[in-house]
Amino acid sequence: MKIERIQTIVTCPGRNFVTVRIVTDEGIWGLGDATLNGRELAVKSYLEDHVFPCLIGRDPRNIEDIWQYLYRGAYWRRGPVTMTAIAAIDMALWDIKGKLAGMPVYQLLGGKSRNGVMVYGHANGRDHEEAVDAVHKHIEEGFKAIRVQSGVPGLAKTYGVGKGKGKGFYEPAEKGLPPEEPWDTSLYLRHTPELFRKVREAVGFGPHLLHDAHHRLTPIEAGRLGKDLEPYRMFWIEDATPAENQAAFRLIRQHTTIPLAVGEIFNSIWDCKDLISEQLIDFIRSTIVHAGGITHVRRIADFAAMYQVRTGFHGATDLSPVCMAAAVNFGLWVPNFGIQELMPHTPLTDEVFPHNYRYEDGFLVMDEVPGLGVEIDEELAAKYPYERAYLPIARLRDGSMWNW
Ligand code: EZ4
Ligand code: CO
């Protein structure tokens, strides 16, 4: 069996997605997600100009060898562009192997450990009241776990909040050049514990509550926030501080028992090796599309299991339904599963990427379908060409980029 043809498909049904399709000489094909928010075309070029020519004629069943060939063979290891490109190939090869076997990928990994993958939704509000309303709405929809974010009074715009109630699906990237937003840590730190006090008062201690600090705090500020949130029994605080320096998390741990999650911007096991082995985190968020595919994320998860660290994969709208299908397969199997983020895609995105997984009462479930259980409607995708879009940039009051 040989890889006969590979292509990328770039589409923007509201936001940009890059998808890889690998076609074999026996006609079976597999799909992989290659979307890297705001740097989409770099991955497309990496794949088309440098990876595809090396793969034509190879046996697509040799997933491990192809992974090592792309990772070690390139000489230049790691990095988001490289690891997203490898992830896309890897996902597509697992999809092909599943179709060959007539089994879902979760069966190939070792079978189901659970019936469904617990997800958390995003309850966003421009202010506390809107955020509490959004929490109620999520509980009505069956969510067992809810991330809560609110606008910060005094800041014109707060990342992760969206445009507020009734304004449709929240999309963090914006069309055109990167928008710039103000940031003020002291306002945020004053306001956030009050938000969670109100949410617990409104809904009690039943639902799991999560919060994302988007890397905006120093370690000692994160320690402060953790302490302030302890009475509300959080499921986690996410991306409390940047983690280029993994040791930074030691300081947070010295001050608070709040569970810590980090890793949506990691792309290899080396980014979280110390965080995991020193038990500085509780949940690892590195995800299939940005961390080298199923083959590599499985290694991270197995390593994490030795230190009682569980998975809590990134699942924002900039991960396509192809990645989400892979995440559901992975989450059904992985023994040390924790939770999966779910930011729903628009109906149009779901139409471009028909998929088998579905939301049911707080969980994502899927049927016993071969491969990843996701397709792409290329004709529909072609109607929505790439549109330049970027994530917002945060600046401090004095106009500088925040510098920690
Ligand atoms: O900022 O996906 O937890 N989710 C998040 C997301 C990320 C975007 C970055 O592309 O933090 O909203
Ligand atoms: Co996040």
Write out the H or E segment, with its range, that includes residue 174: strand 174-175
Cα(32) to ligand 1 centroid in Å equals 20
Sorted by sequence, the CB contacts under 8 Å of residue 24 that are 6+ apart come out as 1, 2, 3, 4, 60, 96
- Report the run of H or E that residue 90 belongs to, with start and end: helix 80-101
Mean pLDDT of 5-12: 98
Give the span between the Cα atoms of 383 and 14, in whole angstroms: 11
Distance 316 CA to ligand 1 centre (A): 6
Residue that wins the pLDDT comparison between 297 and 171 = 297
| Pick from 105-114, 155-164, 192-201, 370-379: least confident | 155-164
Nearest CA to ligand 1 atom 10: 37
**Tokens read off for 161:** 């909040």
* Per-residue pLDDT at 156: 82
CB 338 within 8 A of CB 349: no
Marked catalytic residue, from 46, 159, 188, 384 = 159
Among 136, 170, 214, 255, the one annotated catalytic: 214
> Which run of H or E residues covers position 97?
helix 80-101
Distance 196 CA to ligand 2 centre (A): 18
Ligand 1 pocket mutation, candidates 171, 214, 215, 317, criterion most atoms within 8 A of CB: 214
Could you tell me the two tokens for 264? 């949506």
Q: What is the pTM of this model?
A: 0.97
Distance 287 CA to ligand 2 centre (A): 11
| Whether residue 214 lies in the annotated active site | yes
DSSP annotation string for 13-39: SSS-EEEEEEEETTS-EEEEE---TT-
Ramachandran region, residue 77 (left: φ > 0; alpha: ψ -120 to 50; beta: rest): beta
Going from the C-alpha of 9 to that of each of 51, 66, 289, 295, 380, the distances in angstroms are 15, 21, 15, 23, 11
The answer to whether the CB of 341 is under 6 A from ligand 1 is yes
- Across-strand partners of 212? 238
Phi and psi, residue 14, nearest 5° = 110, -45
Distance, CA of 47 to CA of 351 (rounded, Å): 25
Contact 125, 150 (CB under 8 A): yes
- Ligand 1 in reach of 318 Cβ (< 6 A): yes
pLDDT for the residue 159: 86
pLDDT digits (tens, 9 = 90+) for 338-355: 999 999 999 999 999 999
The pLDDT of 223-250, averaged and rounded, is 97
For ligand 1, say whether the CB of 95 is within 6 Å of any of its atoms: no
Q: How confident is the model at residue 170 (pLDDT cuts 50, 70, 90)?
A: confident
Strand partners of residue 34: none
Looking at every residue in the chain, the average pLDDT score rounds to 96
pLDDT score, position 369: 98
Q: How far is the CA of 119 from the centre of ligand 2 (A)?
A: 14
Check residue 402 and give its pLDDT. 82
pLDDT, residue 310, reads: 98
Give the residue-averaged pLDDT of 24-53: 98
Q: Which amino acid is at 178?
A: P
Distance CA 280, CA 122 (A): 25
CA of 264 to the centre of ligand 2 (A): 6
Q: What is the Cα 117 distance to its own chain's centre?
A: 14
Residue nearest to atom 11 of ligand 1 (CA): 214
Q: What is the pLDDT of residues 117-162, one digit of tens each?
A: 999 999 999 999 999 999 999 999 999 999 999 999 888 888 888 7
CA–CA separation, 275 vs 244, rounded Å?
11
**Which residues does residue 20 pair with via DSSP β-bridges, in sequence order?**
8, 32
3-state secondary structure of 158: coil
Establish whether 208 is a catalytic residue. Answer: no
Ligand 1 contacts CB of residue 172 (under 6 A): yes
Backbone angles phi, psi at 279, to 5 degrees: 55, 45
The residue-averaged pLDDT of 373-393 equals 97
CB of 316 shorter than 6 A to ligand 1? yes
Q: What percent of the chain has pLDDT over 90?
A: 94
DSSP secondary structure, 271-303, as one string: GTHHHHHTT--SEE---TTTTTHHHHHHHHHHH
329: tokens are 């397969």
Position in ligand 1 atom list of the atom nearest CA 160: 12
Which helix (H) or strand (E) segment holds residue 237: the answer is strand 236-238
* Ligand 1 probe mutation, 212, 215, 236, most atoms within 8 A of CB: 212
